[in-house]
Structure 1
Amino acid sequence: MTLVSELHQDHVNLNKLLEILDKKVIKLKAGSRPNFNLMADVVGYIAKYAEGYHHPREDKMYAFFKGRSNELDDVMSQCEDQHRVLKGSTQTLLNTIDGILHDAVVPMNDLIEQLAAFVINEKVHINFEETEIFPVLDHVATNADWEKVEKELPVESDPLFGEKQAEEYKALYVELMRDINS
């Protein structure tokens, strides 16, 4: 599997989680009370995986190709800016959910707005990478480039969707499947 196809699969998997959160927004707007622990786990997973693995791989890949074309440099710069903004909004949402879990009074509209914005921003970012960056990379990069950059980046299995699920995510996976089917 190539690096871009691995990153694309990450996007597919992240979109699955974002769809679950999107359904949570709809349920919240309808007045239901969601499983805040599950919501915290999903957002926490997205944050941990994105910041600890996915975005660093992308950033290293982009650094490798920096200077190859003005168009690529421009979209990569935009992407790096988006990564910083996403990190901040994710932390804000996690703080809000954590507050709720610790009995802080948080207006439900604030949570709904933060969660909805989080989902939209993540989806827009993924779409940006898929439609603006990956096609330019395909045009600029050679097979030799991909071989070299792939050797420089460690390969790790996705701890939630990969073949070998991390122990801490097995229960989350089961709960997500139960939640999706309910």
Structure 2
Amino acid sequence: MTAHVQKWRAEHANYRKLLDLLEALIANFVDGDELDYDLMADIVYYMTQYPDHYHHPREDEAFGRLLAHDPQARPLIEHLTGEHRSIAESSARLATDLAAAAAGTMMPRATLQADVHDYVVFLKDHMDTEEREIFPRLDASLSDDDWFLVDSAIHFASDPIFGDTVQERFRSIHRHIAGQVHCGCEEPAEAACCLD
């Protein structure tokens, strides 16, 4: 497996942790608990800022390079790149709903639950399809030169939760996930822990 695909699989695993946390938070809310709007908003903000600006564009660039080697993949690539646009729109919509609910807009719990559920299911299904259908094709087809061009096309940014340093805004998310996996690093100083 190429280093790029291996990294994307690891990023997907991290995104699943965040999606699982979103699901847990909304399930507690539906059961009558207070909703931690700040935590949920930070998760959705992260999804709009890191995966939507760095992860998905890098995948799209690699998918485009794949077409030169595997033209049969065009329908799948068009489907997945379309889903990347839909994910960005869905993230923005969920962020708006959370902001409205946090500001006191009356919204049935079931509506917010459905929004989160639809978002989580859509993203997980999308990642499953990529890992099952397109990542093996990328591994088999892209050359070192292709991967160099992918890297050159999209500026790299360190992951603000799962990278070398946990950014201040995201420390609460880090603590929640670290507590769930019991890795012993709920309070990171500067370096991220074993979550990635």
Please say whether Structure 1 and Structure 2 have the same fold, judged by a TM-score greater than 0.5: yes
Distance 1:56 1:19 in 2: 24
- Report the more deviating stretch, 114-123 or 161-170: 161-170
1:179 positional shift:
7.3
Instruction: Determine the structure 2 residue equivalent to 1:65.
Output: 66
For residues 13-44 of structure 1, the C-alpha deviation after alignment (integer angstroms, 9 at most, x for no partner) is 10110111121232233222221111111111
Distance 1:152 1:112 in 2: 38
Name the count of aligned residue pairs: 181
Instruction: Determine the structure 1 residue equivalent to 2:124.
Output: 123
Instruction: Determine the structure 2 residue equivalent to 1:11.
Output: 12
Distance 1:8 1:40 in 2: 24
Distance 1:145 1:180 in 2: 36
Letter of the 2:133 counterpart: E
- Report the more deviating stretch, 121-130 or 146-155: 146-155
In the alignment, is residue 81 of structure 1 matched against residue 100 of structure 2? no
- Report the more deviating stretch, 127-136 or 156-165: 156-165
**Residues 40 and 98, structure 1, Cα contact 8 Å, conserved in 2:** yes
Unaligned runs of 5+ in 1: none
Instruction: Determine the structure 1 residue equivalent to 2:190.
Output: none
Unaligned runs of 5+ in 2: 183-196
- Determine which structure has the larger helix proportion and give its number: 1
Over 3 Å counting, the alpha-carbon distance change for 1:30 and 1:171 in structure 2 is closer
Identity of aligned residues (%): 27
Distance 1:138 1:180 in 2: 30
TM score, norm. by length of structure 1: 0.87
Q: State the Cα RMSD in Å.
A: 2.2
**Residues 69 and 140, structure 1, Cα contact 8 Å, conserved in 2:** yes
Instruction: Determine the structure 2 residue equivalent to 1:38.
Output: 39
**Residues 3 and 150, structure 1, Cα contact 8 Å, conserved in 2:** no
Distance 1:14 1:71 in 2: 29
